[in-house]
Structure formats: structure tokens, C-alpha cells
Amino acid sequence: MPVTMRDVAERAGVSIKTVSRVVNEQGEISEATRQNVLAVIKELRYRPNLLARGLVTQRTNTIGLVIGDITNPFFSEVARGVQDVARAEGYNIFLANTDSLPDDERKVLRSLADHAVDGIIIFPNSDNEELIGELASREQPIVLVNYLLNHEHVGLVTTDLYAGSRLAVDHLAAKGHQHIGMLAGSNLVVGNNQGRRLRGFRDGLAAYGLPDNPDYVRISPGNMEGGHAAALALLAQHPQITAIYAYNDLLAMGALQACRQMGKRVPDECALIGFDDILMVSLVNPSLTSVRIDKSNLGQQAMHQLLSMIRNPDQPPAPIVLGVDLVIREST
């Protein structure tokens, strides 16, 4: 039989209410009594029932973190930032991977809400805007990362993805490239998320009078395999392309493999720029130029905003936009 709060109270010679106060760190209790109760808790190996505690305190001290691809180092670095703040504030994290599939995301969101998490941080899919709005309207604190949604009760923490694309095109244009291709992820959403990168790319081309050929943009899964296949097809069909900008670093690394397979020297015959600046891009040969996102800070800011929404439910969250910069390496 599991140890109960009543068992702890009887062994410690105090009331159940006193044990509850110690466990929940509430109310005024003498230090001697607190230490006595904690010693009994340790002796009996009592573990509080978080769900039962939540019924009393209206808090479970857990948050849900919903990401699209657990194998992408970008998400692991963001998750670390979330966890650093959560741990310092006494929160636990439920981590859910959706593979960026709308149906899986819906199931995860509903499950987290049903389990009464105190809040949710999510890299969302566009197909689930209605559900996100519904949860927010039901007073479920929720923060979207790198996604724009006009809802007064939804928190937004994003990086300036548009500016990142402009930096990439500025750099390639300064290097004299006339024909620039782009590898875009399969979750491309014009008007949101990756769509901001595409708009920045196209506006950058226009600013320099460079050709904006729709065939120069390839949509593929956002992993190395997708980048490899997309770059092979793009360069085979459009050999005039001398530079490729990828919406994330994994795609850029796949493009690097494609260039090697085709015998194209990087950067002499094809320059490459990625996005995110994950650790691996500095280790490959040649090292990859990338638009840098402070991923840990992105996670920290998302968690700070979520905590603010939990503690100040009547105060509308203010959007947070973080800057980016270009880290120039050997691939350009």
C-alpha cells in the first residue's frame, strides 16, 4: 500500500493539515515541526500525489513543452533553456514530440489540458490555431514559440525570422551571387512561421534586383535527408544557382552532402547558409555559415512569459521578439 499523508501525520504526531502545510510550503509552521515532518516523509518514503495536491492548490507545478522534432538539436537547446528556468522556479516539465503532425499535436494539447498542467509552451502547427485559441479562452496559459497568432490570451515569443533571411541574402549578394536558391521546410506557412523566412528571402532578392524564380525554392522535410534530396534536384535542374539558403541547419548540412556528391566545391561553386546555428555546423567541413538564434534564451524567455501569465492571469501577455545575427564561416 502506498504511504499516505495520514501515515506521515500519525508517525510525526501532528495533524494531517500540518503535513499538508509542510508539503505545500504554506502557512506558518515552526522550524522544529517542519524538520520533524520532513524526517518522517524521508523515513516513510512518502511521495505527494501531485494531482490531489492540484485539486487543493489549483496548481500542479507542471508545464507541457510541445516540440516538433526531438531529433533536431535546435529543439533540445531551446528545451534546456525552458528547463533551466522551470527548475529554478520549482516546476516540472512534460515533454511531448509531435513530429510536426497536426493530429498528434491536437492529441497532445488535449491531453495536457486534461491533466491540468499549469501552462503549455509549444512550437505549433498552423492547422491547430483554433484549438490553441479555444484552450487560451478557457484560461489555459499557453505560449507560442516562433509563431504569430493574434489572440489576446496567447503568449508569443519569437525570433526575427524575417530579419534573419534578409541577413542571409545581404551576405550572399555582397559575395556577388546572382542566382540564389532556398530550401524551405515542409511546414512552410506563408504569413507565419517559416513564411517570414520566405518573405525575407524574396524581399532581399528584390532589393538587389536578383531573380525571384519560384522554381528556386524547394519544400522538403526539415532534416538532413530532405536537404540532401532537395539540393540534388535543385542544382541538377538549375545549374546556374551558385548559392543556397536553407531554412534550418539540418537542411544546409544535407545540401552540403549533395554538393559533395555532385562534385561542387563549397563555397567556390556553391555557397551555403543555414539557420539556427546549432553546434554541428561549426564542426563539419567546411564549417557552415548560419543565422544564429540564441536558442537557450528563446526557451528561457518562453518560460518566463508563461510564468508571468500563470501568476498574472488578468494581464494580457506582451509579444517578445528576439534578434538574430549572421555567423560567417567557411561555406560562404
Predicted local confidence at residue 3, as pLDDT: 82
Q: In this model, does residue 300 exceed pLDDT 80?
A: yes
Query: Which 3-state string (H, E, C) describes 192-203?
Result: CHHHHHHHHHHH
Predicted local confidence at residue 127, as pLDDT: 74
pLDDT digits (tens, 9 = 90+) for 187-197: 544 445 558 89
More confident residue, 155 or 126: 155
Predicted local confidence at residue 189, as pLDDT: 44
Phi, psi (deg, nearest 5) at residue 317: -70, 140
Query: What's the pLDDT band for 102 if we cut at 50, 70, 90?
Result: confident
pLDDT digits (tens, 9 = 90+) for 150-167: 888 899 999 999 999 999
Are the C-beta atoms of residues 133 and 145 closer than 8 Å to each other? no
Q: Which amino acid is at 134?
A: E
Predicted local confidence at residue 16, as pLDDT: 83
More confident residue, 20 or 67: 67
What's the predicted TM-score (pTM) here?
Answer: 0.81
pLDDT digits (tens, 9 = 90+) for 70-94: 889 999 999 999 999 999 998 999 9
Predicted local confidence at residue 84, as pLDDT: 96
* Secondary structure letter of residue 279 according to DSSP: G
Q: In this model, does residue 327 exceed pLDDT 90?
A: yes
* Mean per-residue pLDDT over the chain, rounded: 90
Predicted local confidence at residue 191, as pLDDT: 42
Q: Which residues contact 277 (CB under 8 A, 6 or more apart)?
A: 249, 290, 291, 292, 293, 327
Please give the torsion angle defined by the CA atoms of residues 105, 109, 71 and 166, in that order, rounded to the nearest 10 degrees: 80
Give CA–CA dist 150/133, Å, rounded: 9
Query: What's the pLDDT band for 147 if we cut at 50, 70, 90?
Result: confident
Please give the torsion angle defined by the CA atoms of residues 233, 234, 235 and 240, in that order, rounded to the nearest 10 degrees: 150
What 3-state DSSP class applies to 106?
Answer: helix
